[in-house]
Structure 1
């Protein structure tokens, strides 16, 4: 058994290293050189698997983390009905027990949190990393597994209803009233995480203002990582009360999630500690809830495998964004050139005719006539050039205001919701780049390089995905969830 586990771990490490190498090579040799905007390819790729825990205060995040760590009897994270922490805590498994405060953690290259320094000292002082030495086997886990070595779990401040703001937007740093930009910090961790567990309790089923802000501003584009858990359902005495709370949660989530069809599955569970208090009147079947809870824990422990999927997803999406930006740049350059060319030819004809006019004037041997005709010719040339420049400037301005039309024309054959959302995500930065540098100075990407991008997304990435899927089927069975 130990030998089989070791072989699986070795296979996982080999596959992870190969995928990381492939992604790194693609980023450095192809994607970054073609990313003229400079924001569509991640600066760094993170190999450490991560689970992000989000939810209202008292939803049970810290309690579930203690269970995940096998520390129900000796809690690592404080629990309670009232908010217990206003900062972010990263918990990881290591060979020793120690804690790094924020300033130490954000400068430790082994953690990979250097980018967090941009959120300022107010955040850094509320950030910490706890490294724990855990037992290899955890009796509280459904399969007896311990948290994988190096895997990170992020405990976040409980989301609350902040008071009515005066003079500040609710999503501004001042309006959030935490001293740092909670929404942007959450967005950072959401992008980096492999699983995002959203926890709710019956008292606040997705209705707090901060929760809605996080859903709308911090988690956009990360829906494929979601797990949604309605916790503490054992408090219901009646099935109708449970149904009402479940329906409220689904309704509130539907208002803020970009979903064109079905809502994500909502897991239901209850807070189970080492001193379980069973509500005999509960309308919830606790045995069934135990099974759901075990399923949630299994999914969280699959974060290392999901890290492989997410590495490929991030690289594929970066390649598609670079391809779209390059295609758009080529298209607007081509349109501007098509507008300029006939006008430049006309202006060139006028400039070519000017010397002839001046020569004819000089042939009259009348100084006044010669001077007058020369001045008129020069004025005509200047007016022609000025008119050309004004026409080009006006056309370029209209072109920048009609990027949507250019996009629809260039991508009409492959138009879909994913393509529309991708354009919406790159449009602001692309438009800003073209406005600052000028459409005429926009880079031109060769067809050969565009084909390389397509080949990477259509051939290389699917090939690596098949390897990951084969590994998952070999280690966890063919029915493993993606």
Structure 2
């Protein structure tokens, strides 16, 4: 059952006001969401059994977000009220014909007194703030405050994702901040990075059917696509014509760029949000894209629409990869870098090919190379396969695998889906009945792969979190080692340059001293480029307690978390 299907209107306005006051009280950090410790403390006031309350949470958080919004909170309170009246807490309880409009709020022991106490405290705090000077602490000091360093018992954790969030803030984030992991490797994580729905990115050269593929799955177009496929085809024909006139091609392609990076996600209504706006929204996982500048953000647009599939998956449509003569045109932003950023965030990467365009251009090679380390996420889609007959299809398939083999440099064979992923009927005149049956089975397999993404997303988050923790540890060892090699007084500039020039040797020293796997170390050239902009003498020395905290997290906390909480999709 989806709680989203229960409108707030099924609760009277009088009760909504009561629940609004309760919600504000339960939401201790005022972020508009109730998670973990907040829910545990508040639900306990109902005096229901722990088992009933766990069931209430599981039903209310039907989207497995790890938190409750106001709508889900109302549903949870209605479930508590029915449980107190003697009903068994089941998935279909709220849809069992109960008069929710006249259902009284549950009895929450001592809640009125607690709310009154909080109001008095807030009023006193406001008077003190208005009447005297308040010392403002630095944001970095909060990483080590008693609030973040306090051990969080598993009883206050509501899900695996909630537990990972707490472990990150408590144990991993302090290490990342101290050794500037966010400047060298990856931006600091926000709540939105943990709460985001699984993402599927589509990559391919222009006119391979990426946008049509998404429309085929959604059975509709998405907001922001103000141009039709017909308009795109005309534009591409004009592009090809102009490419024969080299002096006109560059100016045309620089001016006419219809395609953008476009996440398509669930929303209350149909709308498109400009890149500069969506990148600064705290509840969206796109803040890291600001590092690519306004040139990219002007080519970035988020589309939102209500759709049952988007409740579980976000699709990322991408501009066509340039090929042939079009590669002479320089993009205004780091296309490969942006693709790599999305690859790290995505749960599945679909590489789309057209049977008539199997050449892997230089830009496509760079894009595919940037996906290394994410090989398990990559799937290949040979689209528009009904345009050729069975014999040609066999040859095309062989040519595609040969082309990819040269670029991917991996002994593992990628899963290839063959079909024609659009709303048109299969061209049986070319494929025959066997080809039609093959395409239908391939489409079923691909849909099954997509349906499996939410379940795998939870496992991937754990996997990526552990990888990040190990990378942060190695980064801390490298930074502290470089700091240790700096002289106390004289010759600092000369020593720093020597360390940068011989960075590969320094990596080797760190690897041998701490017995670390050499394959886990960062790319030397990229690290050197970033390091050259810093004063090594300002780096921190090694803090063994921080390293130990991360080791404890990997060795004890995460296994305990997995032991106590199941994947919500199992």
| TM over 0.5, shorter chain | yes
Q: Is the 8 A contact 1:36 1:443 kept in 2?
A: no
Q: 2:552 aligns with which of 455, 464, 467?
A: 455
Return the offset for 1:206.
5.0
Deviation of the 1:330 alpha carbon: 4.2
Deviations 1:90-132 (A, max 9, x none): 2222232233344544454443434445545444444332222
2:374 corresponds to 1:321: no
SS at match of 2:259: coil
| Partner residue in 2 for 1:225 | 377
Equivalent position of 1:64 in the other structure: 213
Q: Are 1:411 and 2:493 counterparts?
A: no
- The 8 Å contact of residues 179 and 475 in structure 2, kept in 1 or not, is answered as no
1:445 CA displacement: 0.9
Q: Which residue of the partner structure matches residue 447 of structure 2? A: 297
Q: Which residue of 2 aligns with 1:381?
A: none
Corresponding residue for residue 357 of structure 2? 204
TM-score, length basis structure 1? 0.68
Checking the alignment, whether the CA contact within 8 Å between 1:59 and 1:231 is kept in structure 2 is yes
CA contact (8 A) 1:56 1:158 kept: yes
Match of 2:196 in 1: 48
3-state SS, counterpart of residue 279 of structure 1: helix
Q: 3-state SS of the aligned residue for 2:504?
A: helix
Equivalent residue number for residue 471 of structure 1:
567
Aligned counterpart, 2:171: 26
Aligned residue for 1:343?
none
Paired with 1:178 and 1:131, the residues of 2 have a C-alpha distance of 26
Asked whether the 8 Å contact 1:176–1:182 carries over to 2, the reply is no
Matched, 1:269 2:419: yes
Provide closer, same or farther for how the CA distance between residues 98 and 407 of structure 1 changes in structure 2, counting only shifts above 3 A.
closer
Change (3 A) 1:456 1:264: farther
Equivalent in the alignment of 1:384: none
* Residue equivalent to 2:162: 17
Structure with more relative contact order (C-alpha pairs < 8 Å, separation 6 or more)? 1
Tell me the residue number matched to 2:83.
none
Distance in 2, Cα, partners of 1:441 & 1:28: 19
Q: Hey, what's the Cα distance between the residues in 1 that align with 2:432 and 2:480?
A: 64
Structure 1 residues 25 and 52: alpha-carbon distance in aligned structure 2, compared to 1, 3 A threshold:
farther
Partners in 2 of 1:177 and 1:335 — Cα distance? 42
SS at match of 2:189: coil
On the 8 A contact 1:434/1:442 being kept in 2, the answer is no
Indicate whether 1:183 and 2:236 are aligned: no
Pair 1:127 & 2:300 matched: yes
Distance 1:306 1:467, change over 3 A: farther
Residues 179-234 of structure 1 show CA distances to partners (whole Å, capped at 9, x for unaligned) of 44333332332232222111112112252333222113x43433332222222233
1:87 matched to 2:256? The reply is no
Cα separation, 1, equivalents of 2:280 and 2:496: 45
Q: Specify every segment of 5 or more residues in structure 2 that has no aligned partner in the other structure, as ranges.
A: 4-54, 67-157, 237-256
Please identify, of 290-299 and 325-334, the stretch whose mean Cα deviation from structure 2 is larger: 325-334
CA contact (8 A) 1:87 1:123 kept: no
1:326-341 matches, within 5 Å, as: 326-332=476-482
Contact 1:162 / 1:176 at 8 angstroms: preserved in 2? no
Work out the CA distance in 2 between the residues paired with 1:465 and 1:454: 16
Instruction: Provide closer, same or farther for how the CA distance between residues 296 and 118 of structure 1 changes in structure 2, counting only shifts above 3 A.
Output: same
Q: What residue in structure 1 maps to residue 315 of structure 2?
A: 153
* Structure 1: segments with no counterpart, 5+ residues: 135-145, 165-169, 341-387, 477-482
Distance 1:435 1:176, change over 3 A: same
Mapping of residues 1-12 of structure 1, within 5 Å: 6=59, 9=62
How many residues align? The count is 397
Aligned partners of 1:455 and 1:108: how far apart in 2?
33
**Structure showing greater Rg:** 1
